[in-house]
Structure 1
Amino acid sequence: MTFKIGVVGLGYRIGYLMQVIGQTQKDIEFVGYVDPNPAGLGLVNGEGVPGISVDPSALKTFNPGKPFDSLEELLEKNDLDLLMVGSPNHMHLEHLRIAIKAGVKTFAEKPVVTTEAQTFELLELLQEAGNVDQVMIGLVLRYAPLYRDLIAARDSGKLGNIASIEASEHIAPYHGAFFMRDWRRNSEFSGGFMLEKCCHDLDLYQGLVGKRPKRVASFGGRRSFVPENKPDELADVYQYKPSGWNGSDKVFDSDGDIIDYQTALVEYQDGENLCFHTNMNVPDEFRRFAVIGSKGMAEGDFIRNFFKLTAAENSETLVDKSYEASNLSAHYGADEQMIEDIFNHLRNGAKLPVSILDGLEAGLTAIKLDEARLSGSVVDLTETWAKFDSYKLAKEEVA
């Protein structure tokens, strides 16, 4: 069987995933795409893109299929086995609405939607369709070998009862400058930096704890990419990663409203807590965590590629390992595993480690964190989850 794949929103991310699919999956065909300005087309054509952490020599050339003027036309003229949604975040809901009503199996990039109201609209659509499993979510770090080792440490009992987590996502100045120049700089399009970039991390730790947030608080703003820090001559690093749709060349005097640093405090339903920090101007970037439990401690870093597990009773090192990614990998080895698992799911019905409902929960957490930051208050999520659960949608049993 040849899997026919269509795309709406052929940006850099989906263009890269098309490379991974083309190189790892047999019997697939990209039949067409919808995008008036397909920034990721070069990646499908085997061209390297600055700021995409892939060895250009690892890229191959694939046929992306025909361009179509609308998603409706793409679906009408093709019997798709998979639709990939990589459009700007604020367009996701409309594209998902069309796909769900057409009954097409769909992969949506994160974040799924950009507001609380859109979250509930999508839940209603999924409820009407009666098939939560129709939509998959690109929370790729759930597939990372490092995260799977962290979950194994939890499941083995070596962590004991988790008490607290310290975690961060720090990105380099070239990437921060990209956010200030790209469409993501405007919250109306992206949903804000915490949602756009850090929903990955919020999902990871909610998945680890296995519980939703009860209360959240947050603080942050913009202190790096501001006019008073603008140099007389802009270094190449600030223009290194090209922007796509609605792009700009302004970095320190950007017209965007996103912030460039934020601290989030999360209390989960049984008292476990997370302290999370993000900053988009970190020269020596890292993405690390320390999970403290009653029986042990787990440390890791997705960028520096290590994992360490230490017993509490005697400080014995139980696990100490590092990871190597392929020259095709953009997420520490997780992208290839995600694509492998998704196609195993499509072909054989295998369970996935993350669901669309997980993505919506992580997204709501990010949205409420920004609500807390803007209001200067602690936000209680009890009523939010009660409304979420009123749609009576059950998560699929995950792998």
Structure 2
Amino acid sequence: MKVGIIGLGFRLGYLGYVFKAIDEAFEVAGYVDPEPAGLATLTEKGISAGRAYATPEELIAGEKLDLLMIGSPNHMHLDHIRIGLEAGLKIFCEKPIVSTIEQSLELAALLSKHGPDRLMVGLVLRYAPLYRDLRAAQAAGTLGHVVSIEAAEHIEPYHGAFFMRDWRRYGRYAGSFMLEKCCHDLDLYNGVVGARPERVASFGGRKSFILANDPSRDGVNDLQLFHRKPSGWLGSDKVFDSDGDIIDYQVAIVEYANGVAMNFHTNLNVPDQFRRFCVIGSRGMAEGDFIRGYLDVHEVLSGRKVVEKRYAKETALSQHYGADEQMAAEIIAHVRDGGPLPVSPLDALEAGILALSMDEARMKRTVVDLRPLWDRFDEALHARAA
């Protein structure tokens, strides 16, 4: 399987290794990236990155590709997806699939013209064993009707500092932290709810990674923790005096079209991090944590624990709780045989729109009604191709 990469950053450098480990026939034919931060990963693993091309158009013209993989900064995804679709290629795009509401509507129009089947998205947690077990319990009727969800994604200070130093610190490139990092989680719970979000309120800001909290002001000079994770394009050493517009904590509440309610909390400065959820239904309750590696399901009537599963945080290949290698295997099968996938570009767009609406609510300090936006989205999605 010959693959071209647009945006050979850390993520696609790592995924290139995972895909190659799953399928020896996986071959990177060429890439486009003026600063390929992920090239070193491929080189260290003995994997060739093929030829360096100056533009996506030159890459596509110069190679016969089975798959185009997009790992460029978020604000570039739409243009790169458009180039791939117009060239008739199958495409894998890292999340978030686009970075603004307007880009979401533009991509919906593109999918109206080209169809969604040639576009795959790297919402990797859909492939996690824990999530699949949650959906299995739900499908078995153990939870009954979902009523409400409490969920959180909290990350350790070294990872939070990475966001303060990386290109993702700028909303004009990343969209926002809620979009860049938490679109995974929002997609999962959209899937559990089975309906679109309709109303959103949110609050947050930056209170941890500010100059007043710089440990060096208190004489702490060993600050390796905050530089442990390398940054790529537009990288900076500044952590507590970052020039970015990113937040470091946010809470949101969501009401879905079917009446399900959810609260979601994220924080970038949590020393004992967790990524957990509690899905409460009419007949049962499911609690789980991707980082701490458990899923427990209790029945309402008996109070019995009917599901008790434990999971490894990482496997030999996966940075995401066993999901990376599973995603690679299923993407490869899909490219070759058209096998089913657990997540679609439409799911990715809906998760992204929710994340961006959370930020709109946070910035405007108001409840955002998404229903007019969904009308615009559906109009773009179902428009006749010109």
- TM-score, normalised by the number of residues in structure 1: 0.93
Matched, 1:112 2:100: no
CA deviation digits over 1:54-79, x for unaligned, max 9? xxxxxx32111111111110000111
Query: Which structure 2 residues correspond to residues 167-246 of structure 1 after superposition, within 5 A?
Result: 167-232=151-216, 233=221, 235-246=223-234
Q: Contact 1:100/1:126 (CA < 8 Å) preserved in 2?
A: no
The equivalences for 1:32-47 within 5 A come to: 32-46=30-44
User: Cα distance, 1:344 vs. partner?
Assistant: 1.2
Alignment partner of 1:88 out of 73, 76, 86:
73
Cα distance in 1 for residues equivalent to 2:172 and 2:263: 26
Aligned residue in 2 for 1:292: 280
Structure 1 residue ranges without an equivalent (≥5): 47-59, 395-399
Preserved contact between residue 132 and residue 393 of structure 1 (Cα < 8 Å): no
Deviations 1:183-241 (A, max 9, x none): 00000000010000000011000001111101000000000000111122351100111
Q: Distance in 2 between matches of 1:253 and 1:88?
A: 23
SS of equivalent to 1:313: coil
Instruction: Give 2:366's aligned residue.
Output: 377
Query: Displacement, 1:391?
Result: 3.0
Rounded to whole Å, the distance in 1 between the matches of 2:215 and 2:271 is 17
The CA distance in 2 between the partners of 1:378 and 1:143, in whole Å, is 32
Question: Which letter maps to 1:329?
Answer: S
Offset at 1:393? Answer: 4.8
| Separation of aligned partners in 1, 2:357 and 2:88 | 31
Structure 1 match to 2:325: 336
Note the residue ranges of structure 2 that are not aligned, 5 or more in a row: none
User: Residue 153 of structure 2: SS of its match in structure 1?
Assistant: strand
* Residue identity (%): 57
Give the residue type in structure 2 aligned to 1:31: A
Query: Which AA in structure 1 matches 2:138?
Result: R
Distance 2:225 2:269 in 1: 11
Superposition map of 1:127-142 within 5 A: 127-129=112-114, 131-142=115-126
**Residue of 262, 271, 282 corresponding to 2:250:** 262
**Would you say 1:150 and 2:150 are equivalent positions?**
no
CA deviations over 1:82-103 (Å, ceiling 9, x no partner): 0000001111111111111111
**Secondary structure of 1:45's match?**
helix
Deviations 1:323-352 (A, max 9, x none): 124222110000000011111111121111
Aligned amino acid, residue 313 of structure 1? L
What is the rounded CA distance, in whole Å, between the counterparts of 1:30 and 1:393 in structure 2? 35
Equivalent residue of 1:391, what SS?
A: helix
Q: Is the 8 A contact 2:106 2:380 kept in 1?
A: no
- C-alpha distance in 2, partners of 1:107/1:264? 30
Give the conservation status (yes or no) of the 8 Å contact 1:174–1:238: yes
Contact 2:96/2:179, CA 8 A, preserved across alignment: yes
- Alignment size in residue pairs: 378
SS at match of 2:182: helix
- Residues 1:31 and 2:19 aligned together: no
1:283 matched to 2:271:
yes
C-alpha distance after superposition, 1:343-385 (max 9, x if no partner): 1111121111100010011000011110001111111111111
Deviation for aligned residue 1:134 = 1.2
Structure 2 counterpart of 1:290, one-letter code: C
Contact 1:265 1:275 in 2 (8 A): yes
1:243 shift after superposition: 0.4
Task: Classify the secondary structure of the residue corresponding to 2:285.
Answer: strand
Residues of 2 paired with 1:260 and 1:103: CA distance?
A: 40
**2:240 aligned to which of 224, 231, 252:** 252
3-state SS of paired residue (2:277) = strand
Moved more, 320-329 or 136-145: 320-329
Name the counterpart of 1:52: none
Q: 2:298 & 2:336 partners in 1: Cα distance?
A: 39
Q: Does the CA-based 8 Å contact 2:276-2:289 persist in structure 1? A: yes
2:79 paired with 1:101:
no
In 2, the alpha carbon distance for the partners of 1:393 and 1:264 equals 30
CA RMSD of aligned residues (A): 1.1
C-alpha deviation, 1:115, in angstroms: 0.7
Determine the C-alpha separation between the residues in 2 that align with 1:363 and 1:106: 18
2:375 aligned partner: 386
Q: Are the equivalent residues in 2 in contact too, given 1:158–1:296 (CA < 8 A)? A: yes
Matching residue's letter, 1:8: I
